[in-house]
Structure 1
Amino acid sequence: MAVRSLFPTLLYQAALGDDALIGELEHSCLQLAEDDRAGRGWAKAHGYQGYTSYASLNDLPVRDPAFADLKRLLDRHVAKFADACGFDLGGRKLKLDSLWANVLNGGGGHSGHIHPHSVVSGTVYVALPPGSRGLRLEDPRLARMMAAPPRRADVPEAQSFVELVPAPGDVVLWESWLRHEVPAGSGKGKRISVSFNYRW
């Protein structure tokens, strides 16, 4: 008998590789949350419990040297992940398409979504105070499991949802079609992260 694993869903997690930069990013994200009126307005209008520069600032690596340093490190991590995924890029590299800061209030979350028009998406975790939730990933086959029984608890990778709780300083990458969310937290501190998309 042979049991094979087909169509794997890969997830990349590693230390970013620059602890000092994480401190700089925390300062920069908190400053953006204070200064970016358009971002605060968008967050309020869309029920985002905190701040995001997602719809307001699209030039963070040009605007702030900390984000430029982050981009250089992310390019390396994304290249490793692209290789692990077996992408045939025809000699080209994936390019950073967008990058945004997130400062969620302690009880804030972000509902399930995907990142269309991108190849690789990810997040760098800057601050995860007590009560913060991680990244909840959804099995991409879930909608097709019409009559499937639940999976045993001793097989965590086979559950319909898997929650990853990274450490500050970690970078997590996934293919952009993978549905994911941030469940609402129970803490009082600011959950700070930087999210991004890469395209081909």
Structure 2
Amino acid sequence: MAQIDSLFVTRLYRAKLSEHGPAIDPAELEASCYSIAEDDEAGQEWCETEGYPGYTSYASLTDLPWRFPIFSDLVKSLDAHVAAFAEDLEFDLDGRDLKLEDLWINILPEGGTHSSHLHPHSVISGTTYVSMPDGASALKLEDPRSARMMAAPARRKTARRELQTFIYEAPSMGEVLLWESWLRHEVPMNMSEDDRISVSFNYAWA
């Protein structure tokens, strides 16, 4: 009888942020994101120049944990989640930890999108979700083999989840998603009238 195995698995980590680290008040985190966005003139200018909808601190601020203590608490929680994911991935870290490299705010208004991309030079990337109103877009993840499929036919719409070309993961407020940084992903259009707010990050091998 034929044996068919699944090889080279792509892992996706999903958990409540509160499972690890200090307790974080969602309302305080959301207020902190808006406060930083309002004061970050360099970030606002970058978003306008680059045609980025809404606001991101990605190109302007590197010291969020210093600016607001709640981001320092957030990093402690994320450190624990990333360590748990690294253990699941069975990485041989040679006695070194994965360390936070970047941490940035994303505020995506109605109609805003974030095009398909990946995170080079990092090991694990992820996002924690501060506000996910009804109609806010899910995270769209792409099969990393797509560019190599060449003449392959399309998958059936009813294909098993692990065989689908794109996976839409709809997180809830207060959750954290982690994936390996080479995994291509995007944020489709936000169909909600309210802002979709998240904090994204990269971890590198120290």
Q: 1:10 is matched with which residue?
A: 11
Q: 2:102 is matched with which residue?
A: 98
1:157-189 deviations in Å (ceiling 9; x for gaps): 311111100000000000000000000122210
| CA–CA distance in structure 2, aligned partners of residues 8 and 53 of structure 1 | 32
Residue identity opposite 1:117 in structure 2 = H
Give RMSD over aligned pairs. Answer: 1.2
Q: 1:187 is matched with which residue?
A: 192
Q: 1:45 is matched with which residue?
A: 49
CA contact (8 A) 1:136 1:183 kept: yes
| CA–CA distance in structure 1, aligned partners of residues 83 and 8 of structure 2 | 20
Shift of 1:153: 2.6
SS in 2 for 1:186: coil
Q: How does 1:58-137 map to 2 (within 5 A)?
A: 58-137=62-141
Shift of 1:20: 4.1
Which runs of at least 4 in structure 1 moved beyond 3 Å after TM superposition?
Answer: none
Unaligned runs of 5+ residues in structure 1 are none
Shift of 1:23: 2.0
1:1-22 deviations in Å (ceiling 9; x for gaps): 2211111111000000066432
Unaligned runs of 5+ residues in structure 2 are none
CA contact (8 A) 1:19 1:169 kept: no
Q: 1:19 to 1:151 in 2, by over 3 A?
A: farther
Provide the identity percentage: 57
CA contact (8 A) 1:43 1:52 kept: yes
Residue identity opposite 1:147 in structure 2 = A
| CA–CA distance in structure 2, aligned partners of residues 69 and 43 of structure 1 | 27
| CA–CA distance in structure 2, aligned partners of residues 56 and 93 of structure 1 | 26
| CA–CA distance in structure 1, aligned partners of residues 6 and 26 of structure 2 | 36
SS in 1 for 2:126: strand
TM (normalized to structure 1)?
0.96
Q: 1:36 is matched with which residue?
A: 40
| CA–CA distance in structure 1, aligned partners of residues 69 and 50 of structure 2 | 29
CA contact (8 A) 2:108 2:190 kept: no
